[in-house]
Amino acid sequence: MKRKFLPVLLLSLAITGTSMAQSGYKEDSVFIRKIFHTALSDGKSYEMLRRLTQEVGPRLSGSAGAVKAVTLTSEIMKAEKFDQVFLQNVMVPHWVRGAKEEGAIFNGKQKTVVPLVALGGSVATPKTGIKAQVIEVKSFQELRDLGTSVVKGKIVFFNRPMDPTKLNTFDAYAGAVEQRGSGPSEAAKMGAIGCIVRSMTTRLDDVPHTGSMRYASGAPMIPAAGISTNAAELLSKTLKTNPATEFYFKQSCEILPDAPSHNVIGELKGAKSPEQYMVVGGHLDSWDIADGAHDDGTGCVQSIEAVRLLKVLGYKPNNTLRAVMFMNEENGLKGGIAYADSAKSKKEKHIAAIESDRGGFTPLGFGIVGTPAQKQKIKSWQPLFSPYGVHELGVGGGGADIGPLGQQGTVLMGLIPDSQRYFDYHHATNDTFDKVSRRELELGAASMAAMLYLLDKYGVE
Amino acid sequence: MKRKFLPVLLLSLAITGTSMAQSGYKEDSVFIRKIFHTALSDGKSYEMLRRLTQEVGPRLSGSAGAVKAVTLTSEIMKAEKFDQVFLQNVMVPHWVRGAKEEGAIFNGKQKTVVPLVALGGSVATPKTGIKAQVIEVKSFQELRDLGTSVVKGKIVFFNRPMDPTKLNTFDAYAGAVEQRGSGPSEAAKMGAIGCIVRSMTTRLDDVPHTGSMRYASGAPMIPAAGISTNAAELLSKTLKTNPATEFYFKQSCEILPDAPSHNVIGELKGAKSPEQYMVVGGHLDSWDIADGAHDDGTGCVQSIEAVRLLKVLGYKPNNTLRAVMFMNEENGLKGGIAYADSAKSKKEKHIAAIESDRGGFTPLGFGIVGTPAQKQKIKSWQPLFSPYGVHELGVGGGGADIGPLGQQGTVLMGLIPDSQRYFDYHHATNDTFDKVSRRELELGAASMAAMLYLLDKYGVE
């Protein structure tokens, strides 16, 4: 079997009726082929990712790893001779995990140690930990229906799994993640003294996942942790035979004063409209327990690579192109907000921004947030992407870090890769370099470069 | 972002103009949704694969592992209460690797041990191995142009990499694999005493890949082995500085007499036309150094699962549906040939056959081999697959094992998954269970079940 490039004739036929001249599309299809070939044969994204995940590793906002990551990505872009590489100051939350956590199920005198990690932003337990009976619920409503008399003094256990029947795993995540984000405060409002949450993954394994948790104002700040899905299954089963089962956990996390940090920006100056900007970006911070390969090392190196590919292929941009490593997506979004604030105050007109923050998997499409006319224009480029498996333009949105730019009229786009494996590794210790396929990563970078090229060449109006 | 099922209305609109009533399509879209939901929430393919790869493991034709695999898959289908489970006798080649191979580069007195595996079907070296100067070539033409005087008494080293710029890695494989399949005899014809081949993968790593090699009649049978891509790079670099570099390898493989083995077949009887057959299949044998997870444990368990899904969802097939585990795809295709011969002699009319032998990755489409009218009919079902990411019907062919059925007018189809990672693991020790994503595997099984359902319900004419 063969899967060849669409013949140019077919491409031309397919775009009949668009506003672009056929000759332009022929030229574009040739240039985009060069982008993909270069990414796959002489790409640098994989080696950049190796350095970011293995030389730096975990890089939560405020940590020494985050400082190293700023230096490394800055140096990489300088070595690639981007026209300008600079840092943008941003104050970020600084939460630290402290000593490794402990977690255990006590079924009478039988103790079973389980994999557990504090949720990001959680307070510590008392030094000796907490141990209490467990109330298992699958929703906030179920919790409220139990009433404070039942919940008071207990540990609330949220155990609603991600729905495996959702084809796109981000939909399944969206349907379950409130338990992690808001569950601890919901539990506290009902009198709970601690909260544990089933990890956000469709896998059944022993890997606990962390992630951000926000205390609601007015509710007591109780310690909160994630337990592995196997541990959640075991605890649930144990509770069915012994409702008096107790859970124990101990963690020593702290919220420190906000820390100075940076967004890292590399740019190629625009030849015609240097005062207009196009952004490709990912977030540089990761959770502290993870090397942050898919979340979001891949997005960072793909962004650098997208700009680098256009540069090495001799493309002279009309607008100024920027690769942006946003700081603090995981627990504050301060980098994305600071970037948009800076753009506004400096009157930097941002035409479009593309984010990659869904893992370095085979690219299938791009999400678009813009006016119907803008979406239609971008979707008309579909025939240029189809030869590369990128078959769905316009399904999905942009990304968290570029979100704040939306208020300035910027078209927001998100790279949409295959979602099946993302939550196997998300926010967990197994989000490591070896989980990334070189070719999948490179195809994503090439897709972003191709989209950046078209946005720059044709604009969005 | 959301990726919801296409509303039924949209589906109906999309299929306007086909021969099927809209009500049929609504019913089909509901049933296919059930197939996918069941595969993702109550699927058994992953556990079947765990057993096949971890309880059985390597299962080359004629080996004890192959016998175990026959028993295991037979028992699995009996436990699922398929209407009939039976074995089909087939004589298979029986090649054994013998003791672990040795390989090394000698740059003067400097010896560097390199990862090497005998190619399937190769003869042994002398007991002390062979050591000789190396002739590196990238094509048969380059070899022939050197002439016998240069090649005689040397080891020929084929070092043409798979082309990384091919989007579909099977195209890259097709462009390089002649070096492994025919290279040793081409080298022997020029007087070489041994042959080593760069592994068939786009990765640069230390994992040597095996695979079948066929001696041409009349050419001396010289020993042949695959070396890892890193070893190939090193050897090539060493030869540039020292053309007198020698290579040494030792292997003790043997070709034993053909052995009795089996295809394993499980079926659901057809209610209307039990004498007509629809097949879903994969091959049960794997290379001896590999657990055969992606090649082709996934195809086997997806085939069983496809039939099982229709059964547990209460579907009563018109035709007799068969899950077939073909034996001996890797080094003889005797199972596929025996199956087609049996079908012919028993006058079992085979309407369609679907093979899965491209790994258990996210399904993107199906290849079709049939008449233009048959292809058109099957392609008209596209709207029923699009909600599941299966967006390309009719690009690509069937599969090796079902190939012999083609002469009987059977429509041949191949599941086409994402190809990016397949050759990272193909024919190598790292083709293990942990490389398979549960969800990707299940989506493939569900896609096959949905296609089998439509083929059975609507036929191919």
Residue B132 β-bridge partners:
B247
- State whether A245 and A261 are in the same domain: no
Q: Which of B439, B440, B441 would you mutate first to test chain A, the one with the most A CBs within 10 A?
A: B439
Say whether residue A413 is in contact with chain B using an 8 A CB cutoff.
no
Asked if the model's pLDDT at residue B21 lies above 70, the reply is no
- The 10 Å Cβ neighbour count of residue A359 is 31
- State whether A22 and A59 are in the same domain: yes
- Mean pLDDT (chain A) is 95
Q: Are strands B102-107 and B246-250 parallel, antiparallel or unpaired?
A: antiparallel
Q: In the listed set B252, B280, B300, which residue is the last one of a domain according to the structure?
A: B252
**Spatial distance between the Cα atoms of B312 and B152, rounded to a whole number of angstroms:** 63
Are B415 and B444 within 8 A, CB to CB?
A: yes
Task: Kindly state whether residue A452 falls inside one of the protein's structural domains.
Answer: yes
Q: Are strands B155-158 and B130-137 parallel, antiparallel or unpaired?
A: parallel
Q: What is the DSSP string of A411-458?
A: EEEEEEE--TTHHHHTTSTT--GGGS-HHHHHHHHHHHHHHHHHHHHH
| Residue owning tokens 């044709």 | A458
Closest by Cβ to A167, choosing from B3, B170, B437? B3
CATH number reported for the structural domain that contains residue A184 in this entry: 3.50.30.30
Quickly state the pLDDT bin for A24 (edges 50, 70, 90). confident
Say whether residue B387 is in contact with chain A using an 8 A CB cutoff.
yes
**pLDDT tens column, A141-178:** 999 999 999 999 999 999 999 999 999 999 999 999 99
Say whether residue B268 is in contact with chain A using an 8 A CB cutoff.
no
Q: For A387, name the nearest residue in chain B, comparing CA atoms only.
A: B167
**Spatial distance between the Cα atoms of B335 and B350, rounded to a whole number of angstroms:** 16
Question: Could you confirm whether B102 is annotated as catalytic?
Answer: no
Phi, psi of B421 (to 5 degrees): -100, -10
Among the listed ranges A8-17, A119-128, B190-199, B434-443, which one has the minimum average pLDDT value? A8-17
Tell me how far apart the 2 most distant CA atoms of chain A are, in Å.
Answer: 77
Task: Kindly state whether residue B208 falls inside one of the protein's structural domains.
Answer: yes
Domain that holds residue B371: 8-94+257-458
Asked if the model's pLDDT at residue B11 lies above 50, the reply is no
Q: In the listed set A231, A252, A273, which residue is the last one of a domain according to the structure?
A: A252
Provide the shortest C-alpha distance from residue B1 to chain A (in Å).
Answer: 4
Task: Kindly state whether residue B84 falls inside one of the protein's structural domains.
Answer: yes
Q: Distances from the Cα of B401 to the Cαs of B52, B73, B300, in angstroms?
A: 19, 17, 12
Buried b (16+ CB within 10 A) or exposed e, B40-54: beebbbbebbbbbbe
Beta carbons of A440 and B424 less than 8 Å apart: no
Provide the shortest C-alpha distance from residue A398 to chain B (in Å).
Answer: 8
Provide the shortest C-alpha distance from residue A397 to chain B (in Å).
Answer: 5
Q: Counting Cβ atoms within 10 Å, is residue A128 exposed (0-12), middle (13-18) or buried (19+)?
A: exposed
- Mean pLDDT (chain B) is 95
Asked if the model's pLDDT at residue B10 lies above 80, the reply is no
Closest by Cβ to B167, choosing from A165, A389, A392? A389
Q: Which are the contacts of A33, defined by CB distance < 8 A and separation ≥ 6?
A: A5, A387
Q: What confidence score (pLDDT) does residue B24 get?
A: 79
- State whether B174 and B273 are in the same domain: no
Beta carbons of A1 and B416 less than 8 Å apart: yes
Structure token digits, residue B25: 């399509």
- For residue A83, the SS3 value is coil
Q: What is the mean pLDDT of residues A318-322?
A: 98
3-state SS string for chain B: CCCCCCCHHHHHHHCCCCCCCHHHHHHHHHHHHHHHHHHHHHCCHHHHHHHHHHHHCCCCCCCHHHHHHHHHHHHHHHHCCCCEEEEEEEEEEEEECCCCCEEEEEECCEEEECCEEECECCCCCCCCCEEEEEEEECCHHHHHHHCHHHHCCCEEEECCCCCCCCCCHHHHHHCCCHHHHCHHHHHHHCCCCEEEEECCCCCCCCCCCCCECCCCCCCCCCCEEEECHHHHHHHHHHHHHCCCCEEEEECCCEEEEEEEEEEEEEEECCCCEEEEEEEEEEECCCCCCCCCHHHHHHHHHHHHHHHHHHHHCCCCCCEEEEEEEECCCCCCCHHHHHHHHHHHHCCCEEEEEEECCCCCCCEEEEEEECCHHHHHHHHCCHHHHHHHCCCEECCCCCCCCCHHHHHHCCEEEEEEECCCCHHHHCCCCCCCHHHCCHHHHHHHHHHHHHHHHHHHHHCCC
Beta carbons of A421 and B437 less than 8 Å apart: yes
Beta carbons of B437 and A416 less than 8 Å apart: no
Task: Kindly state whether residue B3 falls inside one of the protein's structural domains.
Answer: no
Phi, psi of A216 (to 5 degrees): -75, 145
Structure token digits, residue B207: 């994992």
Q: For B387, name the nearest residue in chain A, comparing CA atoms only.
A: A167
Task: Kindly state whether residue B1 falls inside one of the protein's structural domains.
Answer: no
Three-point CA angle A50, A53, A55, nearest 5°: 80
Buried b (16+ CB within 10 A) or exposed e, B64-102: ebbbebbebbbebbeebebeebeebebbbbbbebeeebe
Which secondary structure element, helix H or strand E, spans residue A71, and what is its range? helix A64-79
Q: Counting Cβ atoms within 10 Å, is residue A374 exposed (0-12), middle (13-18) or buried (19+)?
A: middle
More confident residue, A196 or B18: A196
Say whether residue B444 is in contact with chain A using an 8 A CB cutoff.
no
Structure token digits, residue B72: 């295991």
Beta carbons of B421 and A414 less than 8 Å apart: no
Q: What is the mean pLDDT of residues B292-316?
A: 98
- State whether A207 and A271 are in the same domain: no
Q: For B165, name the nearest residue in chain A, comparing CA atoms only.
A: A37
Task: Kindly state whether residue A3 falls inside one of the protein's structural domains.
Answer: no
- The 10 Å Cβ neighbour count of residue B382 is 16
Cα A271 to its chain centre, rounded Å, is 32
Quickly state the pLDDT bin for B12 (edges 50, 70, 90). very low
Phi, psi of B170 (to 5 degrees): -65, -30
**Spatial distance between the Cα atoms of A325 and A339, rounded to a whole number of angstroms:** 10
Percent above pLDDT 70 for chain B: 95
Cα A177 to its chain centre, rounded Å, is 14
Q: What confidence score (pLDDT) does residue B20 get?
A: 54
Say whether residue B205 is in contact with chain A using an 8 A CB cutoff.
no
Question: Using CB atoms and an 8 Å cut-off, which of residues 339-378 of chain A contact chain B?
Answer: 362, 364, 367
Q: What confidence score (pLDDT) does residue A21 get?
A: 54
Contact residues on chain B for A414, CB-CB shorter than 8 A: 1
Contact residues on chain B for A1, CB-CB shorter than 8 A: 168, 170, 367, 395-397, 414, 416
Provide the shortest C-alpha distance from residue A202 to chain B (in Å).
Answer: 9
- The 10 Å Cβ neighbour count of residue B22 is 15
Complex ipTM over 0.90: yes
Say whether residue B167 is in contact with chain A using an 8 A CB cutoff.
yes
Contact residues on chain A for B171, CB-CB shorter than 8 A: 2-4
| Residue owning tokens 């300008």 | A84
Give the pTM. 0.94
Quickly state the pLDDT bin for B7 (edges 50, 70, 90). very low
Number of alpha helices (DSSP H) and beta strands (DSSP E) in chain A: 16, 16
Q: What is the DSSP string of A113-125?
A: E--EEEPBTPPPP
Asked if the model's pLDDT at residue A3 lies above 50, the reply is no
- State whether A382 and A267 are in the same domain: yes
| Residue owning tokens 């990862």 | B115
Quickly state the pLDDT bin for A18 (edges 50, 70, 90). very low
**Spatial distance between the Cα atoms of A141 and B406, rounded to a whole number of angstroms:** 58
Cα A191 to its chain centre, rounded Å, is 33
- State whether B35 and B108 are in the same domain: no
Q: For A400, name the nearest residue in chain B, comparing CA atoms only.
A: B1
Quickly state the pLDDT bin for A20 (edges 50, 70, 90). low
Contact residues on chain B for A416, CB-CB shorter than 8 A: 1
- State whether B317 and B333 are in the same domain: yes
**Spatial distance between the Cα atoms of B347 and B345, rounded to a whole number of angstroms:** 5
- State whether B116 and B187 are in the same domain: yes
Asked if the model's pLDDT at residue A303 lies above 70, the reply is yes
- State whether B360 and B410 are in the same domain: yes
Are B417 and B360 within 8 A, CB to CB?
A: yes
Q: Is A147 left (phi over 0), alpha (psi -120 to 50) or beta?
A: left
Say whether residue A295 is in contact with chain B using an 8 A CB cutoff.
no
**pLDDT tens column, B172-205:** 999 999 999 999 999 999 999 999 999 999 999 9
- State whether B214 and B296 are in the same domain: no
Percent above pLDDT 90 for chain B: 95
**Spatial distance between the Cα atoms of B444 and B305, rounded to a whole number of angstroms:** 10
Number of domains in chain B: 2
- For residue A248, the SS3 value is strand
Measured in residues, chain B has a length of 461
Q: Are strands B155-158 and B194-198 parallel, antiparallel or unpaired?
A: parallel
CATH number reported for the structural domain that contains residue B267 in this entry: 3.40.630.10
CA atoms within 13 A on the CB side of B22: 10
Say whether residue A445 is in contact with chain B using an 8 A CB cutoff.
no
Q: What is the DSSP string of A356-412?
A: --S-SSPEEEEEEES-HHHHHHHHTTHHHHGGGT--EESSS---TTTGGGGGGT-EE
**pLDDT tens column, A174-183:** 999 999 999 9
Quickly state the pLDDT bin for A16 (edges 50, 70, 90). very low
Task: Kindly state whether residue B32 falls inside one of the protein's structural domains.
Answer: yes
Contact residues on chain B for A392, CB-CB shorter than 8 A: 391
Q: What is the DSSP string of A139-199?
A: SHHHHHHH-HHHHTTSEEEE-PPP-TT-SSHHHHHHTTTHHHHTHHHHHHHTT-SEEEEE-
Contact residues on chain B for A171, CB-CB shorter than 8 A: 2-4
Closest by Cβ to A165, choosing from B37, B169, B416? B37
Structure token digits, residue B234: 């090193």
Q: What confidence score (pLDDT) does residue A30 get?
A: 98
Q: Are strands A130-137 and A246-250 parallel, antiparallel or unpaired?
A: antiparallel
Provide the shortest C-alpha distance from residue B112 to chain A (in Å).
Answer: 26
Contact residues on chain B for A36, CB-CB shorter than 8 A: 165, 167
Beta carbons of A1 and B41 less than 8 Å apart: no
Q: In the listed set B191, B224, B252, which residue is the last one of a domain according to the structure?
A: B252
Q: Counting Cβ atoms within 10 Å, is residue B375 exposed (0-12), middle (13-18) or buried (19+)?
A: middle
Asked if the model's pLDDT at residue B18 lies above 50, the reply is no
Quickly state the pLDDT bin for B22 (edges 50, 70, 90). low
Q: Which position among B80, B101, B329, B330 bears the catalytic label?
A: B329
Q: For B389, name the nearest residue in chain A, comparing CA atoms only.
A: A167
Question: Using CB atoms and an 8 Å cut-off, which of residues 8-27 of chain A contact chain B?
Answer: none
Beta carbons of A41 and B165 less than 8 Å apart: yes
Q: What confidence score (pLDDT) does residue A9 get?
A: 36
- State whether B108 and B227 are in the same domain: yes
Task: Kindly state whether residue A454 falls inside one of the protein's structural domains.
Answer: yes
Closest by Cβ to A167, choosing from B388, B392, B420? B388
Q: Distances from the Cα of A243 to the Cαs of A129, A231, B42, in angstroms?
A: 21, 16, 27
- State whether B232 and B270 are in the same domain: no
**Spatial distance between the Cα atoms of B68 and B56, rounded to a whole number of angstroms:** 6
Contact residues on chain B for A41, CB-CB shorter than 8 A: 164-165
Q: What confidence score (pLDDT) does residue B23 get?
A: 66
